[in-house]
């Protein structure tokens, strides 16, 4: 069942996993009825930390990786929310605090099935200072993870491109997640795929894959995306994922969650678990199974991630299950 990773230079096992951008405060809105223009409807509203990079860093750190988060926030109350839990989780935070910019904020309108619609204010999240991204920092990395949002903004793109350029120069493997089909389409498909050609691992979900290569089966989609990256994962939500490498395309199904509460952050947790396990075992199948399991936990709670103690408990259970699988094979 395995797809082995044999040719990637994973550098020093004790090196940093780095990720850039995506530090937000998420305002979760669960309307009790369909919103009606010009009037009120009741809703449950909660505020949680989020952001594709900070979610990724949070889970990687709790999975035992040494992690660095590069980004920026404002000097406002939302910054405390956006950064909450990261230090407790053990994340190394390389973050600029801007006096004149607001911390990124995302309003998540969550439907009855747990699916969400994002309304975003990027603010300080785009203003990543170049001086944070040094050759010395990147040289310490064993992996760089890029969320597509940091590429889609003219303001944040130069910092992301610098990080990627230094990663290539230092032979640091990279993963790229397109993050969202609409800004991906606006950014430009050929432009994105040119960037993806420098990556080691490309991790779209199915809708993003459709945007990149057209509507087709997930297996054919993953196979076609191998033209741009040597390792591909197509995330399928409740249907698991497809993994692909040269000579290997496999569906990795997952146990369905009967009543998902909120899918916010599930893809980020999947990415973190996949990359962490990928580096640990060198096996895509093992990484996919582990990533499916963690994402399945995340959709059972409100917000992109739970508190640190709950997250540690989840990981402990999942690692026990993984060890049992390894002993039985």
User: What is the number of residues in the chain?
Assistant: 329
Phi, psi of 48 (to 5 degrees): -140, 160
Q: Reduced to 3 states, what is the DSSP secondary structure of residue 177? A: strand
Query: Tokens 């950014």 map to which residue?
Result: 187
The per-residue pLDDT string of the chain (329 residues; one tens digit each, 9 = 90 and over) reads: 456 544 455 555 679 999 999 999 999 998 888 888 899 989 999 999 999 999 999 999 999 999 999 999 999 999 999 999 999 999 999 999 999 999 999 998 877 766 778 888 999 999 999 999 999 999 999 999 999 999 999 999 999 999 999 999 999 999 999 999 999 999 999 999 999 999 999 999 999 999 999 999 999 999 999 999 999 999 999 999 999 999 899 999 998 888 888 888 999 999 999 999 999 999 999 999 999 999 999 999 989 999 999 999 999 999 888 777 777 66
Query: Tokens 């990687």 map to which residue?
Result: 60
Paired with 244 in beta bridges are 232, 249
Show the domains of the chain with their CATH numbers. Answer: 16-328 (3.40.1190.20)
User: Do 26 and 303 form a contact (C-beta atoms < 8 A)?
Assistant: yes
User: Do 20 and 36 form a contact (C-beta atoms < 8 A)?
Assistant: no
| CA distance linking residue 78 with residue 90, whole number of Å | 21
Query: Tokens 């690692």 map to which residue?
Result: 319
């Amino acid at each position: 069942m395995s797809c082995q990773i044999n040719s990637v230079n994973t550098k020093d096992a004790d090196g940093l996993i780095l990720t850039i951008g995506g530090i937000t405060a998420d305002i979760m809105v669960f309307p009790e009825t369909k919103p009606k223009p010009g009037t009120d409807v009741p809703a449950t509203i909660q505020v949680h930390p989020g952001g594709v990079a900070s979610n990724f860093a949070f889970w990687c750190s709790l999975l035992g990786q040494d992690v660095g988060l590069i980004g920026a926030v404002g000097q406002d109350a939302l910054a405390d929310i956006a950064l909450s839990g990261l230090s407790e989780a053990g994340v190394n935070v390389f973050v600029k605090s801007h006096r004149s910019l607001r911390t990124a904020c995302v309003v998540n309108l969550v439907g009855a099935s747990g699916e969400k619609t994002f309304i975003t204010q990027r603010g300080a999240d785009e203003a990543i200072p170049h001086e944070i991204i040094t050759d010395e920092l990147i040289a310490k990395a064993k992996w760089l993870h890029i969320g597509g949002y940091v590429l889609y903004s003219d303001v944040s793109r130069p910092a992301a491109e610098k990080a990627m350029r230094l990663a290539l120069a230092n032979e640091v493997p990279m993963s790229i997640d397109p993050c969202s089909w609409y800004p991906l389409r606006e950014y430009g498909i050929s432009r994105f795929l040119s960037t993806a050609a420098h990556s080691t691992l490309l991790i779209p979900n199915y809708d993003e894959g459709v945007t990149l290569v057209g509507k087709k089966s997930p297996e054919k989609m993953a196979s076609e995306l191998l033209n741009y990256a040597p390792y591909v994962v197509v995330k399928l939500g409740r249907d698991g994922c497809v993994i692909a490498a040269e000579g290997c395309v496999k569906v990795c199904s997952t146990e369905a969650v009967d009543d998902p509460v909120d899918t916010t952050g599930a893809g980020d947790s999947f990415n973190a678990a996949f990359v962490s396990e990928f580096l640990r075992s060198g096996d895509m199948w093992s990484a996919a199974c582990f990533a499916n399991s963690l994402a399945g936990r995340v959709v059972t709670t409100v917000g992109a991630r739970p508190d640190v103690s709950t997250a540690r408990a989840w990981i402990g259970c999942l690692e026990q299950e993984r060890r049992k699988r390894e002993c039985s094979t």
